[in-house]
Amino acid sequence: MVQKAERVYSARTKSGKPVGNVTRGTTNPNRMRRLDRWLTGPQAWRLRRAADPFVVDLGYGASPATAVELFDRLAVVRPNVRVAGIEIEPERVTAAKALERPGLSFHVGGFELPVPGRPVMVRAFNVLRQYEEADVAAIWRLVQDRLAPGGLFIDGTCDEIGRRVTWVALDAEGPLSLSFSMRFGGFLLPSDIAERLPKVLIHRNVPGERIHDFLQAMDKAWLESAPLASYGNRQRWTGMCRSLLGAGWPIRDGPSRWRLGELTVGWAAVAPGKPDRGDS
């Protein structure tokens, strides 16, 4: 049963009951590696500067493998990081308890984040896709209100083995960017990733929407960069990113990220709604 937006929002006033629905729980080891690589790369400064290096993995699924991987990867950046895995299904938490160690814990809960402290990072992957688009704003706000100063909330989606990944990054004020990360050789056109867009955008890939315009621009730049394919898809992807940047799209980061099959664009360029005059 899909939980309605107004029920998600009103549930924040209730106590003792997790906010959200049980997910399918599908997961695989190393599925979140592309996002984790971004968190320990361009976003690592947030963890380094945090007064309390506390991170939440929200809705980690039937297996805690990806939560354990997140802890191990973030510990390279901040050795005293604390990661709390949160799942709404009690049996999943019970199974994960055997893997607890100093700095890594597992808890029953939902979007209310039933743990003390304010996290500097919250990762929710393949969780919101099981709600209605109308639910997203209320869910985002519920988590955003718990972030530490400078904190980041990641709402993302990926395929079963993490070869096609997208995520929205939000701070306490609102969405900042949309990121794509794809395995070279695993797509014909960049727009193939459309089926893995976050819930807030997946139904917006239609003419007249910003995300549709951006995906079309990616495809065009990819095709125009075909001569670079003789040097490998890494160079072709980098050429695509340079072309988009040159065309005025607000592309973030730079070649060191592009070479990984990654691209991040400012949220205003892809946000739901009809583009205004002057939008990229």
Residue type, 122: V
Going by their DSSP bridges, the two strands 164-170 and 104-108 should be labelled as: unpaired
Instruction: Over range 161-167, report the average pLDDT.
Output: 95
Question: Which residues, including other chains, have CB under 8 Å from residue 85's CB and lie 6 or more apart?
Answer: 56, 57, 60, 64, 67, 93, 96, 104, 105, 106, 107
- pLDDT above 50 (res 224): yes
Distance, first Cα to last Cα, the chain: 38
pLDDT of 275: 72
Confidence of residue 10 (pLDDT cuts 50, 70, 90): low
pLDDT of 180: 98
Instruction: Over range 221-235, report the average pLDDT.
Output: 96
- pLDDT above 90 (res 9): no
Q: Cα 101 to chain center, whole Å? A: 26
pLDDT > 70 in the chain, percent: 92
pLDDT of 171: 98
Q: How do residues 171-193 score in pLDDT, each as one tens digit?
A: 999 999 999 999 999 999 999 99
Q: What is the CATH number of domain 5-172?
A: 3.40.50.150
pLDDT > 90 in the chain, percent: 85
- pLDDT above 50 (res 277): no
Contact 122, 152 (CB under 8 A): yes
- pLDDT above 90 (res 276): no
- pLDDT above 90 (res 3): no
Mean pLDDT, the chain, as a whole number?
92
pLDDT of 14: 53
Q: How do residues 113-127 score in pLDDT, each as one tens digit?
A: 999 999 999 999 999
Instruction: Over range 250-266, report the average pLDDT.
Output: 97
Ramachandran bin of 252, using left for φ above 0, alpha for ψ from -120 to 50, beta for the remaining angles = beta
Q: How do residues 139-152 score in pLDDT, each as one tens digit?
A: 999 999 999 999 99
Q: How do residues 52-89 score in pLDDT, each as one tens digit?
A: 999 999 999 999 999 999 999 999 999 999 999 999 99
